[in-house]
Structure 1
Amino acid sequence: MSTAFREATPDDLAALRDLEREASLAALGHVFPPERYPFPDDAVLARWSLVLDDPSVSVLVAPAPEHGTLIVLAAYDDTTLRHLAVHPAHWGNGLASTAIEAVLRALELRGCTTASLWCLEENHRARRLYEHLGWRPAPERREAPWPPHPTEMRYTRAVGPST
């Protein structure tokens, strides 16, 4: 699938939140049961506003050709893939892999030699993808910021010509 990424703008705030909500509800309902932990729309919208205002972070997005809503997002800084989401209707089409490849190319241009990311331990679909793409679990663990505060684990991957 050919994907045309562009940089997100403040006009994308609601769409970023909406895409994250759709992906989270589909992938993480077992971690964040929506009847107990409703998606934190306002907090996520505020976080995206901060992310877009942060000059050290780039946010790539791709809209669906047929209706213009966002179908994939990838946010990163100089060393870290900070956010990745694909709309569930587009899972299995290679969008996540394509977004990760674009981020790794950008990190290489920034001089990064080892990239990292954080992933919920219970996000099995994402973990399978990351490991398939050469990311390796690191020993670090931390508590996620959203209730019920599940455990996140760190992954790393070499960046550059030898990868």
Structure 2
Amino acid sequence: MEWSFRPMEVGDLPGLLVLQERGAVAALGKVFPQETYPFPRDAVRERWESELASQDMTSYVATAPDGRLVGFAARWEDEVMHFGTALETWGSGLATWLHDELVATYAPEVTQLRLRVFEGNTRARRFYERLGWMATGEESRTSFPPHPTLLAYVLDRADRHAARCGA
């Protein structure tokens, strides 16, 4: 499967919200029980609109050959802010490909990247750890109720490059 990677546009938001909601409900249903804390579609849409209007945030989408949106990623300075793929692509290699495309957008002098992931999202934690991300031990809370714990991770780009090149 060949995918494309491009900057996100406002016109991508309707499809993005569907994609993000489906993935979030599947991956985070125990973190955000849907009967009590349903996916906050309006708040998420407003956040994306604000971030797309910002000069500080850079957002991307991945599309399938037919143009269908299959993933998204956003970054701010040295931090990965948002990352996800369509539920039906899980296990296809798309997430690793999208991750690598996103990491490649950082300037070479940005040698260490950061992200936060929900403590209860074991699938995402395993994914990032497999790609060389290391937990820092730092914890914070999300702004979305019930305010679950986020764990901080870092990626040393030089270490990852050396490991991939066999050095």
Measure, in 2, the Cα distance between the counterparts of 1:80 and 1:110: 14
Counterpart pick for 2:139 among 138, 141, 157: 141
Find out whether 1:85 has 2:84 as its counterpart.
yes
Q: Is the Cα contact below 8 Å between 2:21 and 2:39 reproduced in 1?
A: yes
- Identity level (%): 37
Give TM-score, length-normalised by structure 1: 0.92
Aligned length: 161
Computed over aligned residues only, the root mean square deviation of the Cα atoms, in angstroms, reads 1.4
Counterpart of 1:28? Answer: 28
Counterpart of 2:113? Answer: 115
> Which ranges of structure 1 fall in alignment gaps of 5 or more residues?
none
Shift of 1:153: 0.5
List 4+ stretches of structure 1 deviating above 6 A. none
Give TM-score, length-normalised by structure 2: 0.90
Shift of 1:110: 5.4
DSSP 3-state at the match of 2:105: helix
Please give the residue correspondences for 1:13-162 in structure 2 after superposition, counting only pairs within 5 Å.
13-66=13-66, 68-107=67-106, 109=107, 111-160=109-158, 161-162=161-162
Measure, in 2, the Cα distance between the counterparts of 1:154 and 1:45: 24
> Which ranges of structure 2 fall in alignment gaps of 5 or more residues?
none
Q: Which piece of structure 1 moves more, 144-153 or 9-18?
A: 9-18
User: Residue type of the partner of 2:10?
Assistant: P
DSSP 3-state at the match of 2:138: strand
